[in-house]
Amino acid sequence: MTFKEMLDVVITRYEVRDIRFPTSQHLDGSDAMNKDPDYSAAYIVFYTDAEEPSLEGHGMTFTCGRGNETVCCCIKQLAVKFINKSLRELVSDMRSTHRICTGDSQLRWIGPEKGVVHLATGAVINAIWDLWAKAVKKPVWKLVVDMTPEEFVQCIDFRYITDVITPEEAIEMLRVNVPHKAEYESNVLVNGYPSYTTSAGWIGYSDEKVRRLIREARAEGFTIFKQKVGRDKAADVRRASLIRDEFGEKGTLMMDANQVWDVQEAIDWMQDLLPFKPLFIEEPTSPDDVLGHAAIRKALFPYTKVATGEHIQNRVIFKQLFQAEAIDFCQIDSCRVAGVNEILAILLMAKKYNIPVWPHAGGVGLCEYVQHLSLIDYICVTGTTEGRALEYVDHLHEHFIHPVIMKNGRYTAPLAPGYSIEMKRDSIEDYSFPNGKVHRQQ
């Protein structure tokens, strides 16, 4: 089949799997709010009528265990709408494709565009991007980089954000980078993309384990670390002191409270941590509290900055975080919002407000996804990697056919066609909940 023919494939059926990794056994991923996550994937495969070679679109949404079955249930409700649709029909108008999920006149009641139905939308839309990228034999980032500004903008639903950015304005912003895209692309192919690690900072780890992990990470080239805070102030101070002791004043330290504080509590608690010069405090309070983040940012200025995003439900809340000058760092999550389409809208708004995008990663599959998004942000939108870093956590990559490849503490550009999210068939089977081999043995 030629590329052209591959775009004419038709989606014939889907498979949804509830995949769970029992990470809570080792307190990987533990923080002040999420004390025992079982990193999980609500996973979908779209199958097509293509044979020899077959063509499949894989997508997933990350969750923390319980609740994964609810997201799977919702993915099925959305996936059925894609049966018998041709890939060409879907990708020739991605704005409408996005609305197949977000505009369902009955389903929107259980959102709209938030929580379970939006997490499910993220999995489904990303699976379409994976299918599209495989059909044209490019990684997703390259598929987007090769679009004209008009094609890029045609992927975005501007509903509810036109008071901040219009399609015309977005096209103008993207045109500025068109002459430089080839140069930026060759930069990332040579140098990769800067990253930081959270692997060392989980709240449930012992001091000795943290010290050892920091040394290992430094040996791998990482110079930016993130520490979880918010459960026990004395322990936070001790841990911060330990980290500064390990890598001195020059390394960059961030802190992450995972939403445990009320507004005034965040301001008060941080007073004892400011001496350790954190670059930012992440998720100091409810992700829904735009005005609360703005108040915290104002109170802590200029001693530290404010970051959030992994729990920001959609472009409308991001829009307000920018409008209210509530954050200094925009931490998009690849599957909490409605997939690549909505991410493109958020990248453009962040650029307009001059807020650097530091994607959330970790969990399972998030590193694989977000590397594409940072490359798009750099090559198409901002033209710089200065003052930016992409989160990296060293967990569960072995389950993916094309896992991220790190070099000297930087992400290398993924080259395989698709969105890098396809899991090995053995992993899908063994970790399926509750009947996969791993769960039967527990």
Q: Which residues bind its own copies (CB under 8 A)?
A: 33-38, 63-67, 69-71, 73-74, 77, 104-119, 159-163, 259, 262-265, 285-292, 295, 311, 313-314, 316-317, 319-320, 323-324
For the CB of residue 105, give the shortest distance to its own copies in the complex, in Å. 5
For the CB of residue 170, give the shortest distance to its own copies in the complex, in Å. 15
DSSP 67-116: THHHHHHHHHHHHGGGTT-BHHHHHTTHHHHHHHHHT-TTGGGG-SSSHH
For the CB of residue 165, give the shortest distance to its own copies in the complex, in Å. 11
Q: Which of 98, 226, 360, 372 is catalytic?
A: 360
Q: How close are the terminal C-alpha atoms of the chain, in Å?
A: 45
Of 85 and 311, nearer to its own copies (C-beta) is 311
For the CB of residue 24, give the shortest distance to its own copies in the complex, in Å. 8
Of 185 and 282, nearer to its own copies (C-beta) is 282
Of 71 and 375, nearer to its own copies (C-beta) is 71
Nearest-CA neighbor of 354 among 333, 325, 374?
325
In single-letter form, the type of residue at position 24 comes to S
- Cβ count within 10 A of residue 210: 21
Q: Which residues pair with 227 in a beta bridge?
A: 255
Give how far the C-alpha of residue 96 lies from the chain's centroid of Cα atoms, to the nearest Å: 23
User: For residue 422, what is the DSSP state?
Assistant: P
For the CB of residue 271, give the shortest distance to its own copies in the complex, in Å. 17
For the CB of residue 43, give the shortest distance to its own copies in the complex, in Å. 15
Residues counted in the chain = 442
For the CB of residue 422, give the shortest distance to its own copies in the complex, in Å. 23
* Residues contacting 276, CB < 8 A, separation 6+: 237, 240, 241, 243, 244, 253
Q: Which of 134, 138, 228, 372 is catalytic?
A: 228
Q: From CA 13, how far away is CA 402, in angstroms rounded?
A: 24
How big is the CA angle at 360 (ends 357 and 361), to the nearest 5 degrees?
135
Give the pair of three-digit tokens for residue 74.
Answer: 């919702």
Q: From CA 333, how far away is CA 359, in angstroms rounded?
A: 6
402 given a catalytic annotation: no
Helix (H) or strand (E) holding 252: strand 252-256
For the CB of residue 93, give the shortest distance to its own copies in the complex, in Å. 20
In single-letter form, the type of residue at position 44 comes to I
Of 28 and 104, nearer to its own copies (C-beta) is 104
Q: In the chain, how long is the greatest CA-to-CA distance?
A: 63
118 given a catalytic annotation: no
Of 23 and 385, nearer to its own copies (C-beta) is 23
Q: Are 129 and 139 in contact (CB under 8 A)?
A: no
Q: From CA 279, how far away is CA 287, in angstroms rounded?
A: 19
Of 79 and 135, nearer to its own copies (C-beta) is 79
Of 85 and 114, nearer to its own copies (C-beta) is 114
Nearest-CA neighbor of 84 among 20, 11, 33?
11
Of 177 and 314, nearer to its own copies (C-beta) is 314
Q: From CA 53, how far away is CA 62, in angstroms rounded?
A: 29
Q: From CA 339, how far away is CA 336, in angstroms rounded?
A: 8
Q: State the catalytic residues.
A: 228, 360
